[in-house]
Chain A
């Protein structure tokens, strides 16, 4: 009998710690599938940020380094420079990348570090219980914006994929979403492309993934998926904001 669908070799069968309905699991699976297809599992090293993603090493059977909060791009920089033959990826949440780690992500991107960063944007701090993040939507209620985010006080949600695309060192910056089969397929292609950018020494690659945090959004998993379409995508448009096609930058 032929197996037509199975767990990727690059994914362990560890029970997940993610909440039911959370799309981190989908992102993990897509990264594992991409590693399988590209044959890079043996030379991949993952660097999780701090937050729900910190247990990355439970789910990927690869070498991993637990970075301080927000610093994964700097750790990845030192690591990639030390071992250019390995495939180094960071996996950050929105508090990690877009708040405490803005300096590290911008400068790693601007140097054109040949690393790949996966960015889970679910508009809240997940692990600490749903506080307001830089990506929290206007009007969105969180435990620390209980009356809804107000631009007059908290500013506007930050658009990382667009911002990073302005930097010369960036080879690939894109935003995808994880709420429907069509979008999951698009996300998979983006993840694969990001890895390929690194393998082809094109420079910095980043995939922002619009994700759910139904627990902290206080909605059902199904409603959370609808909210990505209804509320996140209008503010965080999907698309490729930067893509290098040749090495003429060298």
Chain B
């Protein structure tokens, strides 16, 4: 039996990074993610790692780029406004095919925004955020244990596909404590990096770039990236599904709303209402096939988010054309309590689409 320790979400994530072999962290303070840099400032040096308190989020992501280009596992973490500043660098990472892990413990903007739990940055993370035709790999932990496990997964996926991987979590997941196993479930994968810049040292020179000016070169490059994203979509979907076999309604939610939904589903089932859950763990790749299959069969879908309706658009694209899709969102730090979700369940089951 592996020992579990009562651990804060952000700390589990930071320890996950160390266990994943990340030895380079660059970041700028912003609430509600400061536990991550503070933990790594204390602990990275013990593992021979480097921690730099950068002058800005722009510098942070570019320092990450320098370390990532060197073939090292590197990360940064921030929140809403800081992640916005990083978008240029993230686009370069994607365009030049460099792996890195970027963590967003979300604030409830727009603008400076508050620090209560929110999921307002779904669109930014999943649908680009920066300029150009690219995708981030996006992971959405739903527990402290997943903050640890998915951080390791993020480094593995980033390396495997030479692509930025983003972890997005609401402040609840970042700040609360749960028992957590702080050792990897299986040996951590370290893919070879025959592209890393290490000084040519007898071999041919290497180049990491995103500028293509020759005829059709850029189109060719973008189509190559598209192929990679298609492969990620095909191979890397992670999704939790519960109580779908007999369900008359399926709730789709990620992060904290999925946890609330589980409580609401238990309450509903006590009242004889058959409700199931699909919880996307990867937001890109999105579990479109699972949503199509179950929405076709079940017919009624309720999407719960802590925003005004962002993932719900992807659900509408993925779901069966005849599915009735309703949405319950609490933006800006408002919180969906189990009673609220139960009321939405009853509305959805009783009245169909809103």
Contact = CB atoms under 8 A, between A and B. Distances in A.
Nearest to B92: A68
A47 B66 CA distance: 9
B205 A62 contact: yes
A78 B211 contact: no
Contacts of B74: 78, 82
A63 B62 CA distance: 17
Interface string A226-248: 00000000000000000000000
Interface in A62-110: 62-68, 71, 74-83, 85-87, 103-104, 106-107
Interface string B184-226: 0000000000000111111001111111000000000000000
A85 to B, nearest CB: 8
Given A65-B197, A75-B65, A82 B70 contact: yes
Contacts of A67: 62, 65, 92
A82 B72 contact: yes
Interface residues of B, number: 39
Contacts of A68: 62, 88-89, 92
B199 A44 contact: yes
Contacts of A154: none
**Size range of the chain A interface in the assembly:** 35 or more
A172 to B, nearest CB: 21
Contacts of B68: 78
A135 B154 CA distance: 43
B131 to A, nearest CB: 11
A65 B65 contact: yes
A65 B55 CA distance: 21
B210 to A, nearest CB: 6
A79 B205 contact: no
A63 B203 CA distance: 10
Interface of B: 24, 26, 50, 52, 54-56, 58-60, 62-72, 74, 88-89, 92, 96, 197-202, 205-211
